[in-house]
Chain A
Amino acid sequence: MNQQNIPLLSVRSITKRFPVRTGLLGKRIWKTAVNEVSFSIEQGSTLAVVGESGSGKSTLALMALDLLAPTAGDILYQNRPFSDRSREERRRLRRDMQVVFQDPYASLNGRMNVREALTEGMIIHRLADSPAEREERALQLLRQVSMPPESLDRYPHEFSGGQRQRIAIARALSVNPSFVVLDEPTSALDVSVQSQVLNLLRRLQKENNLTYLFISHNLEVVSYLADNVAVMENGSIVEMGSVDDIFDRPQKEYTKKLLQAIPAIDLLRGHNEEA
């Protein structure tokens, strides 16, 4: 796998609580969404966070992106905590950290054509000086995600779900990030399209030495793409390890339950491949 042992992202015992009110005049109580979670991700590797809805995985992703401050604990990016950095420095880090969401229908601005979507980040982060340079770079991004150059002048609604997700990926890559959060990137896609996007993510990771935090509830996808897996339940990581550890030697009841819920097709297919 990966020889480099430098963690790009290191999360140390972070907790996030949200205030919630009970009833109309109810007291304010605190709900713990993420509870003392620690992990680190090596450069160029993929950590998958699996868990069910409400387990805190998306809150965790927002904190890893410095879009939400933890109530307690530290997040180190390239060995320095977010909290030690200046505002300007944190703004510049936004370029280095990108996210691809589940639903490309919702995450792309319907009023921006693909050219605008792909060049907006370059303008904001001053990555390309001239329009010609941006155009060149946008075309290169489209090539990377296997989309035709004519796409530049078209709008999101003109594309299928899988194409839109490729555009969303191209947009994330437009600012040369090192770290990409993938929040259920293939859950809204058909099986035949899912494989295209997974191949793309794998290829882009290799080519650009990207580090992925991969949020998913689909264990088959996780077992295909991830290096390490963290299992979340009720805001805590209950078990963490390599894909082989988690799938072959699960320790916790909850992990076993998740694994048992994987549809039986794997056995049948395994059989098919041996033949």
Chain B
Amino acid sequence: MHSPILKVQNLHTWFETPTGTARAVDGVNFELYQGETLAIVGESGSGKSITALSLMQLVPEPAGYIEKGSIFYKNRDLLDLTWEEMRALRGKDIAMIFQEPMTSLNPVLTVEKQIVEAMQVHGTATGAEARKRAVDMLNKVGIRSPQQVVRQFPHELSGGMRQRVMIAIALSNNPQILLADEPTTALDVTVQAQILDLLASLQKELGMSMLLITHDLGIVARVAQRCCVMYAGQIVEEAPTSELLKNPQHPYTRGLLASLPSRARRGQELYTLEGVVPPPTRWPKGCRFALRCPNRMDICKNVLPGETALSPQRRVSCHLYNSDSAEAAVPLENPS
């Protein structure tokens, strides 16, 4: 496989809180390849959004900080860049869209001003050229009357339209990488489907790479080629999406998939993962999923499992797959 456009190694992003150090992101590794969509899926508190913010170096300071790790982009470690150098990259090479477009758009500026501003800041285009490009961008994101929409303010637009405007702003500088943090969570299902299809087609057209942060396995199935499952600040499983959904390996991933409601499961009790995610200030010493794990072994309580490569494209962090500790492993039953 060709070399990754983004390589995240051993990333730790911590927060100082009154109750102690919250290790929100605690040793994350992944690679993003040219032109692919990689999803990071996890529940609230898993650290997926903080991972995305860390890539942009937008972690809320001073409480939050990147403790250690590296983020390689074009053979440079972004964590070695100065604030000014990072500023030049942010929004140009790497752009980001968020869940709620109403809070990320400026309510007192027209759509045109906001798209033009993004280009001016990075010198991509200015003046009349930038204004023309703003209309082109709106066209590209599927807005039917761009000439009219450029003159409007965010509150005059529907949620779906606002998210399209956000995407237009993010893509106005032709970024290499788009970070999309729950881009459709606030939208209605049919609009959600439209926006996801739009992102997928734009990605193909522009050849950019997308890192999609979501809690929704359905969205992962729809747009991502590969998927990382995050739990308690770490990636516990990585696999091509179809393999992950057909044949999940980590007990957490298995549990998540088994707990999804569907018509096929009518009248049946859904599988439940008992317990809750431990607080990030007090991760357990061993496997962080151990307390909720149906396959728990003695070793899990005390030893944090390392990554085991199951194939060139798959890895899992679980003692069940670790040859040193697997003698106690029982064959996994699919829960449900």
Chain A positions within 8 Å of B, measured between CB atoms, are 52-53, 160-162, 190-192, 194-196, 198-199, 202, 217-221, 223-225, 243, 247, 257-258, 260-266, 268-273, 275
Contacts and interface: CB of A to CB of B under 8 A. Distances in A.
Residue among A198, A199, A261 facing the most chain B CB atoms (10 A cut-off): A261
Given A258-B189, A264-B218, A199 B264 contact: no
Main secondary structure of the interface of A (DSSP, over half): helix
Nearest to B256: A191
Residue among A190, A196, A257 facing the most chain B CB atoms (10 A cut-off): A190
Given A191-B215, A198-B270, A264 B259 contact: no
A191 B262 contact: no
Interface string B208-249: 000000011111111000000000000000000010011100
B242 A268 contact: yes
B218 A263 contact: yes
Interface string B256-268: 1101111111100
A22 to B, nearest CB: 14
Residue among B219, B257, B266, B334 facing the most chain A CB atoms (10 A cut-off): B266
B190 interface: yes
Interface stretch (B4-12, B121-129, B271-279): B271-279
Contacts of A264: 218, 221-222
Contacts, number: 112
A262 B217 CA distance: 11
A184 B216 CA distance: 16
A269 B271 contact: no
Contacts of B262: 220, 223-224, 266, 269
Contact of A220 (B192, B260, B271): B260
Contacts of B221: 263-265, 268
A192 to B, nearest CB: 4
B146 interface: no
A163 B116 CA distance: 46
Nearest to A274: B264
Instruction: Across the A-B interface, give the 6 residue pairs with the lowest CB-CB distance, nearest first.
Output: A263-B218, A224-B261, A195-B259, A223-B263, A52-B188, A265-B221
A225 B271 CA distance: 15
Contact of B255 (A192, A198, A269, A270): A192
B222 A192 contact: no
Contacts of B190: 52, 257-258, 261
12 contacts: A191-B256, A192-B256, A192-B273, A220-B218, A224-B261, A224-B270, A258-B189, A261-B190, A264-B221, A264-B222, A266-B263, A268-B221
Contacts of A217: 188-189
Contact of A191 (B217, B264, B265): B217
Contacts of B245: 265, 268-269, 272
B269 interface: yes
Contacts of A218: 189
A268 B248 CA distance: 12
B180 to A, nearest CB: 15
Interface string B7-48: 000000000000000000000000000000000000110000
B260 A191 contact: yes
B109 interface: no
Nearest to B267: A202
Given A196-B272, A269-B245, A53 B256 contact: no
B183 to A, nearest CB: 14
Contacts of B217: 191, 263, 265
Given A192-B255, A195-B261, A199-B270, A262 B189 contact: yes
B189 A219 contact: yes
B68 to A, nearest CB: 29
A275 B193 CA distance: 29
Contacts of A263: 216-219, 221-222
Given A195-B273, A243-B266, A258-B189, 10 more contacts: A52-B191, A191-B43, A195-B261, A217-B189, A223-B266, A224-B265, A264-B222, A265-B217, A272-B246, A273-B264
Given A223-B266, A258-B190, A271 B219 contact: no
Contacts of A202: 269
Contact of A199 (B219, B255, B269, B334): B269
A53 B188 contact: yes
Residue among B159, B220, B260, B273 facing the most chain A CB atoms (10 A cut-off): B260
Contacts of A265: 217-218, 220-222, 245, 260
B43 A190 contact: yes
Contacts of A220: 218, 260-263
Contacts of A199: 269-270, 272
Residue among B242, B257, B272 facing the most chain A CB atoms (10 A cut-off): B272
A233 to B, nearest CB: 10
Residue among A160, A224, A243 facing the most chain B CB atoms (10 A cut-off): A224
Interface string B170-202: 000000000000000000111111000000000
Nearest to A55: B188
